[in-house]
Structure 1
Amino acid sequence: MSIFVGSGVALVTPFDENNQVNYKKLGELLEYHVENKTDAIVISGTTGEASTMTESERLNVIKFTVDKIAKRIPVIAGTGSNSTEIAVEFSKKVEVLGVDGLLVVTPYYNKGNERGIYGHYKEIAESVELPIILYNVPGRTGVNLSVSLVKELAKFKNIVAIKEASGNISYAAEIARQVPELDIYSGNDDMTVPILSLGGKGVISVSANIIPEVIHNMVMSFLNGDSKEACRLQLGYNELSNGMFIETNPVPVKEAMNYLGYEVGGCRLPLGEMYQENIEKLHSIIDRHEVKKWK
């Protein structure tokens, strides 16, 4: 059974004026996503700025999310690290919090070889019972999971899916062909429908932070047989989705959310403020798409 089908939001972590986690706002965001058809919450990932948070902050944010969502939709927590030992221990701590799955990015910076990456995921998979989503995003990690390695990793009973963010549709097609037992989630908003056409189950979306219902409807339209409507939404919102990456994620999506009145604060260094010309470009894109403002 799939961890989720549809749109999983790669949720931002809201910060207050002191750059501390704003739990009141986090609670509001979680309720907003339940109300606006988001199918799963992905917390403590890249978009959530997990790499600049302490372990205790991440655990607190994950626990808060699990408690607030209260099993209404699945909660998936990012537990990846470039240290296998840290990833194993953190995954074990997160498991007891009641999440529905783990999102585990490939070990970054080290540029592990295939044996090392296999060992990395093996140790994590054998340390927890939770279902695991592999996360392939070579543009950020410097590592691309080979199809043969994915095939080997899929033999672990709790490695059940892959978030595919290489941007290479041929690679995704080979995963779908050679490893059909793995669910595939698009990790790129602009490739959601193409991934669905290969048998994908949905998307883990940055854009869903501001257009949750659109992303849900895009996926469900396709899965319910209305590929024409899914394609209309995909092409109609690609400019907006790509605008979320006009600078390094999650800087633009937080800027977009603040422009729309969400008040989620800024990013932690080393992610700085956007250049003014990019801010103006992003605001223009948002205005053209008439994105709904915060309630």
Structure 2
Amino acid sequence: MPAPAPGAADPLSLHGVVPPTVTAFDADGELDAETTAAHARFVVDRGVHGVFPLGTNGEFALLGPEERDEVVRVVVDEVGEEVPVIAGVGEPATRRTVERAEAAEAAGADGVVVVTPYYYPLDGDAAVEHYRTVCAAVDCPVYVYHIPSKTGNDLSLGTLDELAAIDNLAGLKDSSKDVPWLGQAVAAHDELTFLAGSDSLLKPGLDLGCTGMVSAVANAFPELVVELYEAYDAGDRERAAELQERVYEVRSAIKRGPYMAGVKEALSIRGFDAGPLRSPLRRMDAEEGEALRADLEELGLVE
């Protein structure tokens, strides 16, 4: 049996491995657009099925509006002819989210990903009105990004029922790690495309009916995650389970040290320098980096 099929409401038919690509910076912390595009090329050349610039790994919340628009432009220019580009456009304010969504669509993004508004608490009615407004502002498909641990706002299954009825809402990336919620959401809305948003739930997400995965590990080791998806899609569940165990090991290794520093460090170890994280985030220090290198060497991922 192949991997689950995308929902009928999703014109992009998103599936497979869709990394939340990194945003590169130079030594002064300025946006390095050329290297940002090169990272999208790096993962596409290694078999991924789409790219998601300006997700959490893309440090979107630390970028200004012009920088965010530039990231979308350069990624679309680099790989937009080959795979779907779904651009993160979420902001705390609906008005600002609409501005970024319109700019992303104008730049050629195939779809936009809208994180649940953050900082201020939202009830279900406010969340529905937010997404309804964004969906009405663009013609490209809109995907909900559900990550309550970072936004402080989760979506009830009842609210999801209302969201699913909005024209132009095509799917949901779930990073809640709430397996019962995700299982019930998928079962209730097979018209939507669901993407598993945690490396801890790649194969389990497929088992629940997700059509693909937004994998941070795939930013540094896309081949590994693509192999997992392809094994699953070919019906080899045993091999997919083995590869999920390997992803767990890689995930544990890259989560050492400062928050989110592991992906760029692993890329550097592979020979791809995406520069620093933007302050106040920071890269690993030398000791942490050497420990990660040792872990990756032991896993046979680098020499």
* TM-score normalised by length of structure 2: 0.91
- CA shift digits 1:172-223 (9 cap, x unpaired): 1111112222111110012010010111111011111111111112112212
Equivalent position of 1:235 in the other structure:
245
Question: What is the count of residue pairs matched by the alignment?
Answer: 293
- CA drift at 1:281: 4.0
Counterpart-to-counterpart distance in 2, 1:4 and 1:275 = 37
Displacement after TM superposition at 1:249 (Å) = 4.6
CA distance in 2, matches of 1:88, 1:25: 27
5 Å matches for 1:190-269?
190-247=200-257, 249-269=259-279
How far apart are residue 128 of structure 1 and its match?
Answer: 0.9
Once the two structures are aligned, what percentage of the paired residues are identical? Answer: 28
Name the CA distance, whole Å, in 2 between partners of 1:163 and 1:242.
22
- The 1:32–1:275 alpha-carbon spacing in structure 2 relative to 1, beyond 3 Å, is closer
Structure-2 residue corresponding to 1:129: 139
Q: Match of 1:10, SS?
A: coil
Q: Which range moved further: 278-287 or 125-134?
A: 278-287
| Residues in 1 aligned to 2:130 and 2:254: alpha-carbon distance in whole angstroms | 31
The aligned counterpart of 1:151 is 161
2:14 partner letter: F
Separation (CA, whole Å) in 1 of partners of 2:60 and 2:136: 23
What residue in structure 2 maps to residue 66 of structure 1?
76
Note closer, same or farther for the CA distance 1:280–1:13 as it changes in structure 2 (3 Å cut).
Answer: same
1:291 aligns with 2:291: no
The question of 1:5 aligning with 2:20 is answered no
Give 1:269-288 correspondences, 5 Å limit.
Answer: 269-274=279-284, 278-288=288-298
Structure 2 unaligned segments of length 5 or more: list them: 1-10
Q: Supply the distance in 2 between the matched residues of 1:54 and 1:82 (Cα, whole angstroms).
A: 13
Return closer, same or farther for 1:160/1:242 CA change in 2, 3 Å cut-off: farther
Post-superposition Cα deviations, 1:228-249, rounded to whole Å, max 9, x if no partner, equal: 1111110122111233333565
Match of 1:33 among 37, 43, 64: 43
Query: The residue matched to 1:133 in structure 2 has which SS?
Result: strand
SS at match of 1:47: helix
**Which amino acid is the alignment partner of residue 216 of structure 1?**
V
Equivalent position SS for 2:43: helix
Cα distance between partner residues in 1 of 2:287 and 2:147: 28
In structure 1, what is the Cα distance between the partners aligned to 2:34 and 2:69? 17
C-alpha displacement at 1:277, in angstroms?
A: 6.1
- Structure 1 distance, partners of 2:257, 2:119, is 21
> In terms of mean alpha carbon deviation, does 194-203 or 239-248 score higher?
239-248
User: Kindly tell me: are residues 163 and 240 of structure 1, through their superposed partners in 2, closer, same or farther at Cα, counting changes over 3 Å?
Assistant: same
Q: What is the rounded CA distance, in whole Å, between the counterparts of 2:227 and 2:108 in structure 1? A: 28
Give the letter aligned to residue 271 of structure 2. G
Q: Which amino acid in structure 2 is aligned with residue 108 of structure 1?
A: Y
Cα distance in 2 for partners of 1:4, 1:19 equals 33
Task: Flag the 1:248–1:198 CA change in 2: closer, same or farther, 3 A.
Answer: farther
- Higher mean C-alpha deviation, range 17-26 or range 114-123: 17-26
SS in 1 for 2:190: coil
Q: Does 1:169 align with 2:175?
A: no
CA distance in 1, matches of 2:131, 2:19: 24
Which aligned segments of 4 or more residues in structure 1 are displaced greater than 4 angstroms? 275-278
Deviates more, 1:247-256 or 1:73-82: 247-256
| Alpha-carbon shift at residue 27 of structure 1 (Å) | 3.3
Contact map agreement 2:146 2:176 (CA 8 A) in 1: yes
Note the aligned Cα RMSD (angstroms).
1.7
Per the normalisation by structure 1, the TM-score is 0.93
CA contact (8 A) 2:199 2:247 kept: no
Distance 1:84 1:2, change over 3 A: same
